[in-house]
Amino acid sequence: MKLTKKIYLMAGLCLALALPGCSNQDNKTTPVKEETKIAVSGHEEAAAAHTPQPATADLQGTIVETFDSGGYTYLQIDSNGKKIWAAVSPVKVKVGDEVTLLSGGVMKNFYSRTLDRTFDEIIFSSGIKGREAGGAAATASPHGKKAESNFAKAMSAEGISPADQQAVAKVTMGSSKAIVPFQELEITKAEGDNGVTIDEIYSRAEELNGKKILVRGKVLKFSPNIMGKNWIHIQDGTGNPMQNTHDLVVTTNDTAEPESVVLVEGVLSKDKDFGAGYKYLVIIEDAVIK
């Protein structure tokens, strides 16, 4: 009996140690990936539900409801029988319009302070394809503290914390997760004394910072109307994809067709931080597409 009782006791102890939260192995906890950390106030359950999810693909649909609030245009589209809510920079649309929502971060159980309303799911889209942002509430150009403040204020007005703002930006147009995968290309280097390749832009960033440069590349991503500018990703086949030095971001008022080869002229900025997750090692601003 004593032996049997001892076996039961040992089995019970092992079971207790095996239960989640009961192990005391070196008193260590499993490390949390940086992307999943979030600054919260209130209940942890609410914060977890509020965390932005990975970006959606572009969505086509018909607008069934729309209104402006908190620095955004809210709209609900009917996409193949599914009703989907989205928020974009202020834009003139109306019920019945056929639109294509560009990719964006998805937030579940999102509470809007300005509307005093909770959305089961909403996409913070990077814009509507072919539509220019406009109106009194439109976000300004990203240059300077005023634009950064406007962008942050619009998100803060809707109850989005600074940590969530960064997460939303990363899955929409932010630098770290918006990098286009490397493509095998052979693009001719831009002619002229200020002509450079993308690899040279990264390797000579300190030297070229603040200077007007020319670069030729293939348009692999075009995102319109983000913080008052069109954002373009180009590649020329140079650079190191293991170090993310193969993909160059350009801001411009011009348009460019995806898959087209363009000549870009603009001023290079090094270590540019627009706030809200928009941070770039190098970026060409106010570019002209030739």
Three-state DSSP state, 161 = coil
Tell me: the pLDDT tens digits for 11-48? 443 433 333 333 333 443 334 333 322 222 222 223 33
Q: Are 171 and 51 in contact (CB under 8 A)?
A: no
CA atoms of 280 and 246, how far apart (whole Å) = 13
Question: Tokens 């450079």 appear where?
Answer: 196
Strand 278-289, strand 248-252: pairing:
parallel
The per-residue pLDDT for 106 is 79
C-beta neighbour count of 38 within 10 angstroms: 18
CA atoms of 279 and 285, how far apart (whole Å) = 13
CA atoms of 148 and 199, how far apart (whole Å) = 29
**Once rounded to an integer, what is the mean pLDDT over residues 111-138?**
73
Q: Are 160 and 34 in contact (CB under 8 A)?
A: no
256 confidence band (pLDDT: 50, 70, 90): very high
The per-residue pLDDT for 89 is 79
18's enclosing H/E stretch is helix 2-18
* 114-123, 250-259, 271-280 — most confident range: 250-259
Question: Tokens 């993909």 appear where?
Answer: 247
Report residue 18 CA to chain centroid gap: 40
The per-residue pLDDT for 139 is 36
Burial class (CB in 10 A: 0-12, 13-18, 19+), 252: buried
The mean pLDDT of the chain is: 73
**Once rounded to an integer, what is the mean pLDDT over residues 209-235?**
91
**Once rounded to an integer, what is the mean pLDDT over residues 75-79?**
95
**Once rounded to an integer, what is the mean pLDDT over residues 218-247?**
87
Three-state DSSP state, 20 = coil
The full set of domains in the chain, from first to last, is 53-172 (2.40.50.140), 198-289 (2.40.50.140)
pLDDT at 119 over 80: yes
Question: Tokens 């962008």 appear where?
Answer: 151
The per-residue pLDDT for 214 is 97
pLDDT at 217 over 90: yes
**Once rounded to an integer, what is the mean pLDDT over residues 198-218?**
96
The per-residue pLDDT for 165 is 61
Q: Are 124 and 168 in contact (CB under 8 A)?
A: yes
CA nearest 166: which of 278, 29, 68, 75? 278
Three-state DSSP state, 250 = strand
Least confident stretch, 47-51, 137-141, 170-174, 261-265: 137-141
**Once rounded to an integer, what is the mean pLDDT over residues 191-205?**
95
The per-residue pLDDT for 107 is 80
Q: What is the dihedral of CA 219, 222, 225, 229, to 10 degrees?
A: -20
Q: Are 34 and 177 in contact (CB under 8 A)?
A: no
**Once rounded to an integer, what is the mean pLDDT over residues 68-94?**
89
